[in-house]
Amino acid sequence: MSPAPLPSRREEFRELWKLALPIAIAQGGQSLMSFVDTAVVGRAGTQALAAVGLSSTVFFALSSFAIGMMLGVDPLVSQAFGARNAPRARELLWQGSYLAVVVGTVLAVPLVVVPRVLPFFGVDFAELPEVTDYLTWRAPSLPLLLLFITTRAYLQATGHPRPLVVSTVIANLLNLGANIVFVFGGEVLPAWCGPLRLLPAWGVKGSALATLLACVVQWAIVAWAVRQMPVDGGRAWVRPVRADMLQALRVGMPIGLHIAAEVGVFSLAGVLARWLGPESMSAHQIAISYASLSFSVAMGIGNAGSVRVGWAVGAHNTPRARMSGLMAFASGAGFMSLCALVFAFFPEPLARFMGTPSEVIPLLVPVLMVGAVFQISDGIQGVGAGVLRGAGETRFTFVANMVGHYLVGLPVALLLGFGLKLGVVGIWWGLCVGLTAVALALFWRFERQSAGTLRPLEA
């Protein structure tokens, strides 16, 4: 039986973006929760802000690794739909959900335990009790976050991402309102709220509780959406299958390590910038905030590309997988090029929009100029990780990130930033070189793999 005819480039572009935009909104919504926690608690005092800032950094690092592990479910589910095997896709959702609970629970333990044992090793600082409170109440949200990521993989593979947008918007609105009330107490509410005005002010702990509540609601909405999608031949309940969970873990572990490597190099860049002074650190942080915003859209394109490549691979249609992947690369490069133009032509307005102190602006403007080049490389490598994931290729992405960031980018950052005294601008050129190396490697890999025959993971 001959494969289905290829769609036109216009049709492929339209279908890709129909998936990419909702996924990008859901992607950005995850980052927005921690941003809201920081913004609200910042009004409760410097010590509380420092506690939430440190806690959010720790939670982000661990959760990024955990999310990467769960992304192993993505290609399995999308390839099952591509093979027109909806019951198998629903079974994989169950297995991914079991895995999410196990991984989330195991990784939540250090979030609760580590802050409590630090004093026994002589590590103590003023905000440690508040860090302990925040991480203790934020830790239960990790399994819920991973359940959401797994369910997101299923919904985007069905081509119905709308519940992701609805759940993300509702969760973020709830998180904002609950943060204000739980942090500052019920006194901030109007008189008609009645008994709610009696709620005490919980400070940092209240912020973590608000985010936990938002994660419960977010997952409940997408889980309900899946229940409304009956599957012919599917079962209401599927028992845990060790082989299926291990398969998802084998695919997902390199993704988790790749994300950990990428998060690690950017965290290290922040430490290097701090050694240069608080002004350099501020310039780095503001530039990263802008870069993260645009990257969330690139990630949405990458996830959409992963789904469409996975569909084609599951249908044993390598030409269509190649076309979907290359269109995703082109879309990511095109969008990030527009962002690069904004960075290049409006660096000073961008700096002032963030309320940047006057002494930081001379450092931030050239960093944003480097960020213009950084954007294109970042977008291509973000999309590349997605389309290769859809093809079932995850180990190469991990290796490319380790080599590109740590053997290429980091030495360049150290040479330019400290050897040639270019400061934070040199550090950013190093990041840019590393990202460019990764982007070229991932594009080359997909080009080479898709020129042959792409086979499903469960062939």
Q: What is the pLDDT of residues 93-149, one digit of tens each?
A: 999 999 999 999 999 999 999 888 878 766 666 667 888 888 999 999 999 999 999
Contacts of 176 (CB under 8 A, 6+ apart): 36, 40
Q: CA-to-CA distance for 371 and 273, rounded, in angstroms?
A: 15
Candidates 437, 410, 425; CA nearest to 371 is: 425
Q: What is the pLDDT of residue 187?
A: 75
Q: Using 50, 70 and 90 to split pLDDT, how confident is the model at 352?
A: confident
**How far is 398 from 390, CA to CA, in rounded Å?**
15
Say yes or no to pLDDT of 3 above 60. Answer: no
Cα(454)–Cα(392) distance, rounded to whole angstroms? 9
The answer for residues whose C-beta is within 8 angstroms of residue 399's C-beta and 6 or more apart is: none
- Assign 3-state DSSP to the chain and report helix, strand, coil percentages, each to 5: 85, 0, 15
| 350 DSSP assignment | H
3-class DSSP state for residue 252?
A: helix
From the list 347, 425, 335, 345, the residue with the least C-alpha distance to 380 is: 335
d(CA 113, CA 178): 26
The yes-or-no verdict on residue 49 having pLDDT over 90 is no
Distance of alpha carbon 182 from alpha carbon 93, whole angstroms: 34
Those residues with Cβ within 8 angstroms of residue 22's Cβ, 6 or more apart along the chain or in another chain: 161, 162, 164, 165, 300
pLDDT at 58: 83
pLDDT tens-digit readout, 219-271: 999 999 999 998 877 776 789 999 999 999 999 999 999 998 888 888 888 87
pTM beyond 0.75: the answer is yes
- The predicted pLDDT at position 1 comes to 45
Among positive and negative, which fits the CA dihedral 18, 398, 28, 143?
Answer: positive
Angle (deg, nearest 10), helices 361-390 and 242-275: 160
Could you tell me the two tokens for 389?
Answer: 């994931």
Q: In the predicted model, what is the mean pLDDT of residues 288-307?
A: 88
User: Could you write out the DSSP letters of every residue in 27-49?
Assistant: HHHHHHHHHHHHHHHGGG-HHHH
Q: Mean pLDDT check: name the lowest of 114-118, 224-228, 314-318, 428-432.
A: 114-118
pLDDT tens readout for residues 384-415: 999 999 999 999 999 999 999 999 999 999 99
Average the pLDDT over 190-218 and give the result. Answer: 83
Specify the DSSP class assigned to residue 420: S
Give me the chain's average pLDDT, please. 88
What band does 37 get if pLDDT is binned at 50, 70 and 90? confident
147-166 pLDDT tens trace? 999 999 999 999 888 999 99
How many distinct helices (H) and strands (E) make up the chain? Answer: 16, 0
Given this model, what pLDDT does residue 72 score?
A: 92
**Diameter over CA atoms, the chain:** 70
For CA atoms 365, 370, 372, 378, the dihedral sign is negative
